[in-house]
Chains A and B, each alone.
Chain A
Amino acid sequence: MRLLALFLTILLFSGSSLAECRNKDCMTAQFELETMGHTFHYDEVFNIGTNWYIIFDYPENNTNKTITFEFYNGISKVHEYDNDLVTDSISFSGSTFNEEKLNLVLNITITSEDNSTSDFNLKIDINKPPADDLFYLWGGMTVFWTAIGAYVLYISSKFTKLRDK
């Protein structure tokens, strides 16, 4: 039983060691909006199943209020500037997309304090990594049989003991 618990724990937490990287160093692309002094760091490939991050450096003496990230399919996020920060980031869940797509447009709109807006587009590719989830399927399936099997063994041994009495 202890070995089983150990096996399940290792199985569950093994994936956690592959933590997603949120550092600028991990980002493969950089875009600088020269007119505003804004720099965006992002990964050009959105891997389905892995959270996708975009990190942005605030312009000096920031007067912007909000920044909106919107994909073509209407999925969007609005982020408010926090002037106590120098760098900020937002993320999109790995389940945002389920199909591969090349050159997907991400529209970014910046709204300043006087409500004037400026926008630009970034292009990224949506990649669907090969299914490596069979590991989780068998892990999950194991749970059902071990739980029912262990319980049946438990009550059967209890029944045998009582019957002998």
Chain B
Amino acid sequence: MKHEREAFGFLGFLLILGTLYFALIETGPAKFFTAPNAQKLFYLHVPSGLITYLAFLMVVGGSMVFLYNGSEYADNLAKSSTELGIVFGFMSLASGTFWMKAEWGGDIVNRFLTDMRLATTLAMWLLYIAYFVYRRQPDTLQVKKNAAILGLSGMLMVPLSYLSSRYLRSHHPVIVGTEDQGSLDPSLRFGLYLGLFGFLFIFIFLLKFRMVIEEMERNILKSKMEKI
């Protein structure tokens, strides 16, 4: 399809508009929350967190394949996914911080140091910032290999962050795979899925776009090298 990438972006944009309409206008202030208005962040905070995990798992997958067979496509995928993981991770961490401030109160820095979900997620995000910074130098084979090894650390960091609120000390709520999942109000679930698919489509659009740019950069570099 000629405009497949743009179609994903447009669809994602529409779904996010729908999520905003649903969260801010269709449903009233949430019950049983200290901060009933800030709870609306839920519909975009959770999807952005899940997309962050997806992006970093793609970095792990791409890095693995690159180390196995040296695939340029896999390396491109890992590099592009890192950038998107950082963007969505920032969205998740920052929006979560606003929500946390309204709902739980207290000192933000202290919470990031003592709540294991927050600490491990921030550590995971910083790790991929390190990957991103490392890849800002010229792409030699050695740089790609080192970056791939760094990218593999997500194998540990992603599950650690995801499972930390279940098994380590954390106030962060857990919904997926618990009794609370069944008790999640259907309207809440609808808004959540709307936001999730919206961000997923935007993620696909941005990833495809970023990979095209990376491909162009590599081709330009290759042609320059051939001229030399």
**A residues in contact (CB < 8 Å) with B:** 8, 11-13, 15-16, 19-20, 48-51, 93-95, 98, 131, 133-137, 139-141, 143-144, 147-148, 151-152, 155, 158-159, 162-163, 165
Contacts and interface: CB of A to CB of B under 8 A. Distances in A.
A47 to B, nearest CB: 10
A133 B45 CA distance: 16
A140 B95 contact: yes
B184 to A, nearest CB: 17
Contact of A137 (B38, B83, B108, B216): B38
Interface of B: 29, 31-38, 40-41, 44-45, 48, 83-84, 87-88, 90-91, 94-95, 97-99, 101-108, 202, 206, 209-210, 212-213, 216-217, 220
B29 A131 contact: yes
Contact of B87 (A15, A16, A147, A159): A147
Contacts of A152: 206
A144 B40 contact: no
A140 B105 contact: no
A15 B101 contact: yes
A61 B32 CA distance: 44
Contacts of A136: 35, 37-38, 41, 98-99, 101-102
Contacts of B202: 148
A77 to B, nearest CB: 15
A29 B48 CA distance: 45
**Secondary structure at chain A's binding surface: helix, strand, loop or mixed?**
helix
A96 to B, nearest CB: 10
A51 B111 CA distance: 14
Contacts of A147: 87-88, 90-91, 94
A81 B124 CA distance: 39
A94 B105 contact: yes
A48 B32 CA distance: 11
B138 to A, nearest CB: 16
B106 A51 contact: yes
Contact of A12 (B84, B97, B220): B97
Contact of A155 (B98, B99, B213): B213
Contacts of A13: 108
A151 B48 CA distance: 15
28 contacts: A12-B101, A12-B108, A49-B105, A94-B106, A95-B104, A98-B34, A131-B37, A133-B37, A134-B38, A136-B35, A136-B37, A136-B38, A136-B41, A136-B99, A137-B40, A137-B102, A140-B41, A143-B95, A144-B95, A147-B88, A147-B90, A147-B91, A148-B87, A151-B206, A155-B213, A159-B212, A162-B213, A165-B220
Contacts of A148: 87, 91, 202
A61 to B, nearest CB: 35
Most chain B beta-carbon contacts within 10 A, residue among A11, A19, A137: A137
